[in-house]
Structure 1
Amino acid sequence: MPTKKPSPTVLAVIPARGGSKGVPAKNLAPVAGIPLVGRAVRACLGAVGVTDVVVSTDDHAIAAAARSFGAEAVRRPAAIAGDTATSESAVLHALDAFEATAGRTADVVLLVQCTSPFLTSAEVAEAVARIVDGEADTAFTAAPSHGFLWREPSDSADGATGATGVNHDKAHRPRRQDREAEYLETGAVYAMDAAGFRTHGHRFFGRTALVVTDPARVLEIDDPHDLARAKALAPLLDEPATPSFADVDAVVLDFDGTQTDDRVHLDAEGREFVSAHRGDGLGIAALRRAGLPVLILSTEQNPVVAARARKLKIPVLHGIDRKDLALKEWCEAEGIDPARVLYAGNDVNDLPCFHLVGWPVAVSSAHDSVRAAARAVTATPGGFGAIREIAAWLLGPELNTPTPLPN
């Protein structure tokens, strides 16, 4: 009986320096609640064929984030961590470090860029398959383009006047359907035969294959405007994701606009009243029975916040100016890793807490900037059962019946 051929070792290397001039701490910047380095790690770990994922970095915080998402971290020497260092040098160093530590030789090596936040696991897997199946020696993601490119006139003495077409004759412009597509290199992922990469020292050698991607997903983050675009596009391009019970060790809830509809009712004496939803109380009680710590964290000083917490039998911190500092101190006191905290909020004063926790969640009625920063968004508005919906994510079908909105 023939011996089964062992599966190839496919190493994904994600270069992620700590320094960035365009966007400070860029590789830790969250998009939809997940740092860029975490998004790259997730794309690689979810790809068929990838066996190992390593983040090459000179930064302790990036290394910690990489490990929290399931990758290994390789400390990059200062000599190849500067602005002029090439990505190839980081990949080669990580390849050497991996093989020395793992005692295995990589068959395929990938260069995966954190700056492409919408890279998918399917695209990574296709790039791997092109090499493993022997179709190509190198492969990379590219987006089809039918655009007309132009070049500005130079200052040469040849008398050239006006802009000139690069990929077309400006006197003859065929219709889009009559032109063959050209392909734009996206910079997201490059796959290479590992032995060939060692020999040639660069990412393009031998036969090269294209992994064609959707142009709508192509975005490289080089400056703050790119990052803002990524955050705005994430709710449209990301697959919807909700946490399970295994993902979360505690639930922290904002109050106004999250457990209420964000309105305040006043009587003739100036006393304030708010509306809460009974379904939320049911959900919170279920979370408590399941053993999950639940905390209300609010800037609101109104005694109604404390009264609601007493009724729900959960602790409360209210009248808080810096919610993120209070949350950090609470996590330390309770021995809870913030990366395993679900925080639900609705307005801009919740954003610092969003950046602290592993599962920032926005209610559907939240401010646009909060929805853009969230890792998950409820279908239900604040004050109408959004917390019950979150409890159903964590606890399963028994709480999964939607809570109807009032007429």
Structure 2
Amino acid sequence: MIKKVLAIIPARGCSKGLPRKNIIDLAGKPLIAWTIEASLGSKYIINTIVSSDSDEILDVAKNYNSDILKRPDELATDISSSEVVVKHVLESIEEKFDYVALLQPTSPLRDTNDIDNAFEKLFSSEANALISVCEYDNKILKAFKENKFGYIEGISNNKYPFMRRQDLPKTYISNGAIYIIKVEEFLKNESFFTDKTISYEMNLEKSLDIDTLKDLEKVEKSINENT
């Protein structure tokens, strides 16, 4: 059976670290365009919607052939979560979908191949959700935390703090590039994480995220070196 997939690209107008971040120029086109084009190129995504409180961003998105949805101001604050944005989109559209993917515009090096490979990994598994990750320094497993009695204990268990790093398991961190989940699962808990979530690993270069001007310059350098 064909699975109906919706992609949502959240793009707030206000950005303190990098003004007009989502539409700032990156290697000749607006930052958000990189994610729109990656989404539209996917063989699994049948509809791409940019959610924003900014008419300027929505106009740019429309010019790159994305569907758009104006977001209420109360869902575009510094504390507004991606989950409430996704819920707003799902409740605002009439068409029903089997899966929803969240693709953040600040991860421009995540491309169509990454998106399709992530879907293929999810669809071939028993999982109901997927989160993209990159490898993270496993030294974190050697850390301690203080328990309610004031004594320290390992953050995972009490063996890892005393093991050699090369004997520790690999650890990963979400890179913010791809989140996919069954719509029915998302609506249950309004979360992208379930007890049946798998990962899609990306390398550190593709996991670069733009939050500052320095990040932008680093990503642009990477693009120029690979073209």
**TM bracket, shorter-chain basis:** 0.7 to 0.9
The DSSP-based 3-state class of the residue aligned with 1:148 is helix
Change (3 A) 1:135 1:18: same
Residue pairs, 1:381-396, within 5 angstroms: none
Match of 1:173 in 2: 164
The DSSP-based 3-state class of the residue aligned with 1:231 is helix
Residue 191 of structure 1, CA deviation = 0.2
1:106-136 superposed Cα distances (whole Å, 9 cap, x missing partner):
1100111111121121221133334444531
Alignment-mate amino acid for residue 10 of structure 2: P
CA distance in 1, matches of 2:46, 2:99: 10
> Residue 144 of structure 1: which of 135, 157, 168 is its match?
135
Match of 1:37 in 2: 32
Matched, 1:17 2:1: no
Residue pairs, 1:96-135, within 5 angstroms: 96-98=91-93, 100=94, 104-133=95-124, 135=126
TM-score by length of 1: 0.50
Residue 224 of structure 1, CA deviation = 2.1
> Residue 200 of structure 2: which of 203, 211, 217 is its match?
211
RMSD between superposed Cα atoms in Å:
2.6
CA distance in 2, matches of 1:165, 1:199: 32
Matched, 1:222 2:211: yes
CA distance in 1, matches of 2:102, 2:86: 7
The DSSP-based 3-state class of the residue aligned with 1:51 is strand
Match of 1:87 in 2: 82
Change (3 A) 1:166 1:47: same
1:240-289 superposed Cα distances (whole Å, 9 cap, x missing partner):
4xxxxxxxxxxxxxxxxxxxxxxxxxxxxxxxxxxxxxxxxxxxxxxxxx
**Unaligned residue ranges in structure 2 (runs of 5+):** none
1:145-188 superposed Cα distances (whole Å, 9 cap, x missing partner):
3542376999xx9698xxx986785654243xx44321121111
1:48-76 superposed Cα distances (whole Å, 9 cap, x missing partner):
21111000001111111111212111000
Matched, 1:62 2:57: yes
Match of 1:201 in 2: 190
1:31-88 superposed Cα distances (whole Å, 9 cap, x missing partner):
2112221111111111221111000001111111111212111000112111111111
1:322-343 superposed Cα distances (whole Å, 9 cap, x missing partner):
xxxxxxxxxxxxxxxxxxxxxx
Of structures 1 and 2, the larger Rg is shown by 1
| Contact kept in structure 1, 2:136 and 2:173, CA below 8 Å | yes
1:200-234 superposed Cα distances (whole Å, 9 cap, x missing partner):
11111241011111122211222222122112222
| Contact kept in structure 1, 2:139 and 2:165, CA below 8 Å | no
Residue 19 of structure 1, CA deviation = 0.4
| Contact kept in structure 2, 1:151 and 1:165, CA below 8 Å | yes
The count of corresponding residues between Structure 1 and Structure 2 is: 223
Q: For CA contacts below 8 A with separation 6 or more, give which structure has more relative contact order.
A: 2
| Contact kept in structure 1, 2:143 and 2:161, CA below 8 Å | no
Alignment-mate amino acid for residue 164 of structure 2: R
Alignment-mate amino acid for residue 178 of structure 2: V
TM-score by length of 2: 0.86
The DSSP-based 3-state class of the residue aligned with 2:205 is helix
| Contact kept in structure 1, 2:43 and 2:116, CA below 8 Å | yes
Greater share of strand residues, 1 or 2? 2
Residue 144 of structure 1, CA deviation = 2.4
Overall identity of the aligned pairs, in %? 27
CA distance in 2, matches of 1:137, 1:169: 30
Alignment-mate amino acid for residue 118 of structure 2: A
CA distance in 1, matches of 2:139, 2:108: 27
CA distance in 1, matches of 2:160, 2:80: 39
CA distance in 2, matches of 1:28, 1:190: 22
Change (3 A) 1:153 1:131: closer
Change (3 A) 1:169 1:96: closer
**Unaligned residue ranges in structure 1 (runs of 5+):** 241-407
Match of 1:353 in 2: none
